[in-house]
Amino acid sequence: MLERLLSREKAAGPGIGATAPDFVLPIAAGETFTLSETLRKAPVVLAFFKVSCSTCQFTFPFLDRLYRSYQKDGVEFWGISQDDAVKSNAFSKQLGLTFPIALDTPAYAASLLYHFDYVPTILLAGRDGKIRFRTTGFSRAGLNELSEEIARLLGRTPERVFLANERVPESKPG
């Protein structure tokens, strides 16, 4: 059932090889995040989420681990929140996130461009703007694949997502 939902969801939005739809979203202090401008400098991981989503809460510390591993290579990670600034900042602080958050409220303009039904939805776009990776929910294999795809873009060895002593489930639906 989950696989059928995920496969339906993947088919509904821009998939692997498609051009990532561009968007502009607000961030702190009146600044904005523009996907196309950021892609000119670096590959970008987009992680769409809701603060109340328990799967997002579970997944985002692992994304932050990847961010800290690939940040030195110039890879950008952006959380795309479907909540307001106060809730989003509290979420980030509570989880100890170090990557930035953009706000996709109140109209969900960016989320609608990507046609997904569930969060977290995570995408990787290369500097050419093409989507290289897309997944929904939490999957150990999916996050390992994300790390491998980032490393492939950079021409280097993938970073480990999970520590040997961590007991992490294989999946957790979004």
In whole angstroms, give the CA distance from residue 30 to residue 81: 16
pLDDT beneath 70: ranges in the chain: 1-12, 29, 174
pLDDT digits over 23-49, tens only?
999 997 679 999 999 999 999 999 999
Whether residue 77 is contained in a domain is answered as: yes
Is the CB of residue 167 less than 8 Å from the CB of residue 77? no
Question: What is the distance of C-alpha 67 from the center of its chain?
Answer: 10
Q: Does 136 map to a domain?
A: yes
173 belongs to a structural domain: no
Residue 165 maps to a domain: no
| 166 lies in some domain | no
CB-side neighbour CA atoms (13 Å) of 41: 12
Structural domain range at position 135 = 2-15+24-155
Residue 163 lies in a domain: no
Residue 10, pLDDT score: 43
53-75: pLDDT as tens digits: 999 999 999 999 999 999 999 99
Q: For the chain, how many structural domains are there in total?
A: 1
63, two tokens: 């994304």
Which contiguous run of DSSP H or E holds residue 57?
Answer: helix 54-70
CATH code of 40's domain: 3.40.30.10
Report d(CA 174, CA 168) in Å as an integer. 16
Confidence at residue 174, expressed as pLDDT on a 0 to 100 scale: 64
pLDDT at residue number 105: 86
